[in-house]
Amino acid sequence: MSTPRHIRLGSRGSALALWQTEHVATLLRGLYPGLSVETVVIQTRGDTYKDRPLPSIGGKGLFTLELEERLRRGGIDGAVHSLKDLPVIDPDGIVLGAIPTRDDVADALVVRGAREEGQNLGNGLSVLREGAVVGTGSRRRAAQLLARRPDLQIVDIRGNVDTRVRKALDPAGDYDAVVLAVAGLRRLGMEARISVTLPFETMLPAPGQGALAVQCRQETEWLAFFGGIDDTWARAAVTAERAFLAQLGGGCRASVGALGESRENGADARGGSDVRPVVRLRLWGRVSAPDGSRQVDAQTTGPRDEPDQLGRALAQQVLRQGAQEILEQIAKTDGMPNDNRQP
C-alpha cells in the first residue's frame, strides 16, 4: 500500500473526542503533506446511557466497541480514543497503531465558588468544606478522595467535560466540586477552571490517563502509516501501566491507579565511544478499597524496553501486600469479576 491521500478517522461526538481526533489528524498532516483526513462520528454505548453509573452498565467496551467494529469492517481507517478508555487486551485484528506524545496525567478539582477564575489554589483538599459533595463517576477517584477525606460525600456524575464543569459551578447545583483530568480541561481551553491540581500522593491517575490512542487494523501498511506519530516514551510508560492493570484484572469496579515515568539514569557501563544514557522506567501503582479505608501502594524501576514485565511484577507485589483481598471483596460485593477497564 502506498501512502494514502485520504483517510477516515473514527471518533465519538463529544467536544473532547473531536478535539483529540483533530489533533491526531494535524499530526498526520504534518507527517504526510497533502493528506486529507475525514472525521467519522460514531455513537457508542457509553454515550447512549448517560444517566447511569459506568460500573452498572459494564465497563468493557463502553466507549470503544462501536468504533472498533466500524474499523474492523473497513468503514474507517483508524479510531481515536482516550487511551484510558481502551480495554487492556486488543480485539482480534486490531492493534494500537500509535500513542502520540502524552499530555498532563494529573487529576484536578473544579470547585464552586472557591476562587477567582484562573487562580489555582494549590494541590491540597483543604479547599473543600467539611462534608462537601464531590461529583465523579470513577471509583478510582472516589476511593482515593475518601482515603484522604472520609467526610466527603461522593456522588456519581456523568456527561461531557463541559457539562460536568457547568454542574460544578452552578450556584444552585448539587455539587460543591467535580474531579476531572487536567488533560481534558486543557484540550478544551478550560484550564482556568482548575481550582486544585491534585498531587499523585493524593490521586494517582488511571492507567493511560493523558494519552491518546489510535487503533488500526493489524496490517503492516497501516502500522507503518500510523507509527510515524508514535511516541516511544509515552508508549513505554502506558504499556507498563496497562500491564499492571491487566495482571490485577482490575476494571471499572476496582480502584487502580498507575503512573509510569521514563528517566535517564546516567551512562551505561560499556565505556569507549559507545556511551549512551541508560533509560529506566519507574512505575508507581495503587489499589484502593472503594470506601478509601485501605490502600496498597508500591513502586519499582526497570529497563524501559521491558514495560510489560515491569507492570506484571509490580502487580504481583501489590497483590502480596494486600491488594488481593481488596479486589476479592470488590468482586464479591458486585457479584461479578472485574473487566480490565479503568475509567
Nearest to 182 by CA among 252, 108, 245: 108
Distance of CA 231 to the CA centre of its chain: 16
- What is the distance between the alpha carbons of residues 214 and 98, in angstroms, rounded to a whole number? 5
Alpha helix ranges (H) inside the chain: 15-31, 45-48, 65-73, 139-148, 161-169, 182-187, 220-227, 232-248, 307-318, 324-334
- What is the distance between the alpha carbons of residues 188 and 174, in angstroms, rounded to a whole number? 24
- What is the distance between the alpha carbons of residues 53 and 55, in angstroms, rounded to a whole number? 6
Distance of CA 71 to the CA centre of its chain: 22
- What is the distance between the alpha carbons of residues 32 and 191, in angstroms, rounded to a whole number? 31
Distance of CA 43 to the CA centre of its chain: 20
User: Nine-digit cell at 197?
Assistant: 491540581
Nearest to 281 by CA among 295, 264, 266: 264
Q: Which residues contact 266 (CB under 8 A, 6 or more apart)?
A: 277, 278
User: Nine-digit cell at 211?
Assistant: 494519552
Nearest to 84 by CA among 183, 201, 229, 193: 183
DSSP bridge partners of 154: 134
In one letter, which amino acid is 59?
G
> Which of 47, 77, 85, 151 is labelled catalytic?
85
Is 174 labeled as catalytic in the residue annotation?
Answer: no
User: Nine-digit cell at 310?
Assistant: 515491569
User: Nine-digit cell at 331?
Assistant: 468482586
Q: Which residues are catalytic?
A: 85
